[in-house]
Amino acid sequence: MINVRPAEPGDAASWLRMRHALWPEGSEAEHGQEIDEYFQGLARGRPAAVLMAENKEGHPVGFAELAIRPYAEGCLSDRVAYLEGWYVAPEARRAGVGQALIAAAQEWGRSQGSTEIASDADPENDISIAAHRAAGFTDAGLVRCFRKDL
């Protein structure tokens, strides 16, 4: 039994642990600040919603961070529900947690007036790509992003 619900302030420590596992390049302090800003309503629109997945014991085992974007690669509308972050703890994978998070994310997107949901994955992250495909996502293209200091 998997329960998916909106994140609450009491989830901050679990969310921080999982967020840092998903994005280890960010420091725990940076992730903690973003989590604090989210709960204080200062997240500047990203994420607009955070969903937590709990196992049958009520322990958080995954999360989805969601936003509304005016554009996403391969999408036709200008109000796209976007899966900014999606994580399932290794010990909870292949047990329906990811699918439950995606189902709840889709429902959230519909409630926001979206008709499409989009996401991205590192082109080298075979696990994430497989999880997205298993959840019904289709490839919309491969984009390489560049930057340069001025």
User: 3-state SS of 86-108?
Assistant: EEECHHHCCCCHHHHHHHHHHHH
pTM, 2 dp: 0.89
Mutual angle of helices 28-39 and 12-22, in 10-degree steps: 130
Minimum mean pLDDT range among 33-47, 63-77, 84-98: 33-47
Q: In this predicted model, what pLDDT tens digit does every residue of 34-60 receive, in sequence order?
A: 999 999 886 665 678 999 999 999 999
Count the neighbouring beta carbons within 10 Å of the beta carbon of residue 133: 12
Q: In this predicted model, what pLDDT tens digit does every residue of 98-148 receive, in sequence order?
A: 999 999 999 999 999 999 999 999 888 899 999 999 999 998 888 777 777
Supply the pLDDT for residue 11.
96
Provide mean pLDDT across the span 71-100: 94
Supply the pLDDT for residue 44.
65
Q: Superfamily for 3-134?
A: Gcn5-related N-acetyltransferase (GNAT) (3.40.630.30)
Q: In this predicted model, what pLDDT tens digit does every residue of 12-29 receive, in sequence order?
A: 999 999 999 999 999 999
Supply the pLDDT for residue 42.
67
Supply the pLDDT for residue 142.
81
DSSP letter string, 11-61:
GHHHHHHHHHHH-TTS-HHHHHHHHHHHHTT-STTSSSEEEEEE-TTS-EE
Supply the pLDDT for residue 45.
58
Residue with token string 């976007």:
82
Between CA 93 and CA 70 the distance in angstroms is: 31
Supply the pLDDT for residue 29.
96
Helix, strand or coil, per DSSP, at residue 131 = helix
Between CA 121 and CA 142 the distance in angstroms is: 10
Supply the pLDDT for residue 43.
60
Helix, strand or coil, per DSSP, at residue 1 = coil
